[in-house]
Chain A
Amino acid sequence: MLEGIGLDTTMLWAAIGFSALGLGAGAYMFYRARPATESADVSDIVKSAPYHRVHNDLKIKSGS
């Protein structure tokens, strides 16, 4: 079955396959280096933090 495959076909697909693997590796590196998607906004957390737990240790302004 494989005897019919010529040298030209082999070289063609070897080069294409190697290039595809190289492209895949590059894409994987880009994927790993993607910036974090979570939002940097923490204002809700800052508002709802348990400030009453530190009122003996530290004065923190009430309100924003």
Chain B
Amino acid sequence: MARNKNNEVEEPLELSRRPATALIAFASSMAMDDDVDEEVLRRLIRAVLSRKAEQAALITGLGLANNPHTALIVSHLLSAHVAELRQQESGLLDADQVTGVWGQRLTVGAMLAAMGAAIPGTLSGGVAISLVLLAMSAGAFAAAGRLRGRAKRNQIARNREEAEALSRHLLEAIKTAPSL
């Protein structure tokens, strides 16, 4: 038991029940060969990553814990989450580069076809104008879709970086833990 400078026994810090401590509990439970639902872990990790206070509580909790393996398990779970986010990110990139880019190109093609048909008089009047307008709106919609996809990809990248940093800092926390 730790003693302070007045030689009084210091009570160990009591942590509250929150997603961060729940994640530590599940990690210890996994180390003891308990069966833990992957979906539960995924939701807890998302909850921890979504708030700065939970991230701080996780670092504190694992620094205070007497068992360094728990931190290693949590760090490993975070790495698995990072891999999952990276997969989502590359899936969105593929969708953008294949579907998004080609969707935009096709709408430009449609506009050129409509105008090309209108110039020699193959199509005329309302039909030609509606076709050009349709192609323009389709182009705008495809561009908006691409923008949305890129925004989502950036958001995933930011979450991934945060998860990577947290995973690294957990390992630092056990290195600097006073109890070890």
Please say whether chains A and B are actual partners in one complex: yes
A residues lining the B interface (CB < 8 Å) = 7-8, 11-12, 14-30, 32-33, 38, 40, 42, 45-47, 49-51, 53-54, 56-61, 63-64
Residue contact A40 to B65, C-beta cutoff 8 Å: no
Total residues of chain B contacting the partner, CB 8 A: 66
**Residue from A14, A18, A46, A47 with most neighbouring chain B CB atoms (10 Å):** A18
Q: Map CB proximity to A onto B64-75 as digits: 1 under 8 Å, 0 otherwise.
A: 111100100000
Check B131–A21 contact: CB distance below 8 A: no
The dominant DSSP class at the A interface is helix
Instruction: Count contacts between A and B, CB distance < 8 Å.
Output: 185
Known: A12-B127, A16-B110. 6 other contacts (CB 8 A): A19-B137, A25-B104, A29-B103, A50-B26, A58-B15, A58-B65
Whether B123 pairs with A29 at a CB distance below 8 angstroms is no
A16–B131 contact, CB under 8 A? yes
Asked if B165 CB lies within 8 Å of chain A CBs, one says no
- Which residues on B sit within 8 Å (CB–CB) of A47? 17
User: Which residues of the other chain, A, contact B67 by a CB distance below 8 angstroms?
Assistant: 56-57
A11 touches B148 (CB 8 A): no
- Those 7 A-B pairs whose CB atoms lie nearest each other, nearest first: A25-B103, A29-B145, A18-B110, A22-B107, A26-B145, A49-B22, A11-B117
Q: Are B122 and A11 in contact (CB under 8 A)?
A: yes
User: Min CB distance, B82 to chain A, in Å?
Assistant: 17
